[in-house]
Structure 1
């Protein structure tokens, strides 16, 4: 291990011995190879377990290896997040950052990405609205900072390579259809602001195109395929205007599902081109987690 990392972890231990390392870990020091116990994680996105490091078989005057300490610190933060203990997660994040542990925070975020945990966005938001917002700008990737007022994004569907935009044509009720544009280089019309909407400890987004004070929603009715047509509207007061973003790793790429809160449907584009070469956006008839068909790139501007 590099000297820098050794010094980092020693500092973390000194600064946050009480809040980071639990009593069981400090009372039962084990060899680095021993990984026996299982920590419980949240079932918000999926039911799973994550191995945690246990330490034993060494004398009381010995210290665990730095790699074990690093993993234990990582597990501590991870477990707070997936259990939705955000107050503890924020305090833990502050302690880690204060000791120079940005790399540990980054590893936890990557772990949540790898597991497809949408809670990574909740975590980013909770740290942002705390007294530790500066940590988000320094340790968090831009893609989970999309709730920030000056962070904008293009939403590009993986299967089609089309960017989310909207029609210039106004419907009879004042709404505009949400469309897919094959021109993903256009500066205006395909850039979106994702406005955080927190209800309790659950985070959703309202999605607003930069040039319009309107918000993405799904229509109430379904077509013959069972899909809901997507629109932008001036109203933003219903669950049809709220969206969850869920990460997915696929063939080495970080992608995202965009899921409507009201209907629990995945955002997609139709396969036929209409409206002057554009594709119509829909909420898919079933919740089919197929990344080749229904995942999106979030390109932060």
Structure 2
């Protein structure tokens, strides 16, 4: 009886030891990286990426990034920019969607909204302020070309968004309209939080898109539901809840 009990104890200890030493699955590794990003532990997340690459587990990074985008985690962009500025450019190039590289290298891009497929542009107004509109037809002229300039503060990356034709930056108006939304203008300077925007990635039907939020008001950029006579739509900062609705409020950011 004593021998049987002793053998049983040894077997339990062996199982516990094997469980402790069992290799972590790729799914567990991806979840650990995902959670490090979600809670903002970017140094830990960067270290995990380096570790996974040494173990030839780049697909783990790709899976974690996929989960972050599918779940619409704002920290995804901050994490990617931390990698980009801390010797992790090749990780961003290899395991993040191409849009991240295009934005970080400040390439000229187009912003096209998902709902209406209008391209963002600036147009002249009678008071000499340029105002942002979505163009229903033009997808190729310089009017619809933009450049993102990163601004890193307190581990958060924001962007100044400049029209390459007008050399003006997008700015959200101080005053709310009748619908509580704010007009988006062009401005020759970009020295306030009203000129700063942050990107929250999202995925819809396998397409990577971005919610574009204003830093000052946390309003998301959208287009008016009503069309002008020429079928263009005015760009607005919308203050309502938009999470989970990329098909209505998100934008494609594509090379010009």
Please give the TM-score of this superposition, normalised by the length of structure 1.
0.72
More helix by proportion, 1 or 2?
2
For the aligned residue pairs, the C-alpha RMSD in angstroms reads: 2.5
Q: Which residue of 2 aligns with 1:25?
A: none
Cα distance per residue 1:174-216 (max 9 Å; x no partner): 5310111113531422122111111111122111122332211
Tell me whether 1:107 sits opposite 2:67 in the alignment: no
Cα offset, 1:72, TM superposition: 2.6
- Which one has more relative contact order, counting CA pairs under 8 Å at least 6 apart? 2
Does the CA contact (< 8 Å) of 2:119 and 2:139 recur in 1? no
Q: Which residue of 1 aligns with 2:22?
A: 64
TM superposition outliers: structure 1 runs of 4+ over 6 Å: none
Cα distance per residue 1:101-149 (max 9 Å; x no partner): 2211111100001111011101110000002222222222212234423
Does the CA contact (< 8 Å) of 1:124 and 1:145 recur in 2? no
Tell me whether 1:154 sits opposite 2:110 in the alignment: yes
Distance change in 2, residues 1:247/1:131 (3 Å): closer
Q: Which residue of 1 aligns with 2:87?
A: 131
Residue 145 of structure 1 is aligned with which of 101, 110, 116?
A: 101
Q: Which residue of 2 aligns with 1:181?
A: 135
* Cα separation, 1, equivalents of 2:66 and 2:19: 34
Does the CA contact (< 8 Å) of 1:120 and 1:144 recur in 2? no
- Secondary structure of the residue aligned to 1:60 is helix
Please give the TM-score of this superposition, normalised by the length of structure 2.
0.83
Q: Which residue of 2 aligns with 1:51?
A: none
* Cα separation, 2, equivalents of 1:92 and 1:184: 44
- Secondary structure of the residue aligned to 1:274 is coil
* Cα separation, 2, equivalents of 1:147 and 1:295: 16
Q: How does 1:1-301 map to 2 (within 5 A)?
A: 57=15, 59-60=17-18, 64=22, 68-167=24-123, 169=124, 172=127, 175-183=129-137, 185-274=139-228, 276-289=230-243, 290-301=245-256
- Secondary structure of the residue aligned to 2:110 is strand
* Cα separation, 2, equivalents of 1:189 and 1:260: 22
Does the CA contact (< 8 Å) of 1:125 and 1:147 recur in 2? no
* Cα separation, 2, equivalents of 1:87 and 1:163: 37
- Secondary structure of the residue aligned to 1:273 is coil
* Cα separation, 1, equivalents of 2:19 and 2:205: 46
Does the CA contact (< 8 Å) of 1:122 and 1:201 recur in 2? yes
Cα offset, 1:164, TM superposition: 0.8
Higher Cα Rg, which structure: 2
Does the CA contact (< 8 Å) of 1:194 and 1:205 recur in 2? yes
Does the CA contact (< 8 Å) of 2:106 and 2:148 recur in 1? no
* Cα separation, 2, equivalents of 1:231 and 1:190: 15
Count of matched residue positions in the alignment of Structure 1 and Structure 2: 242
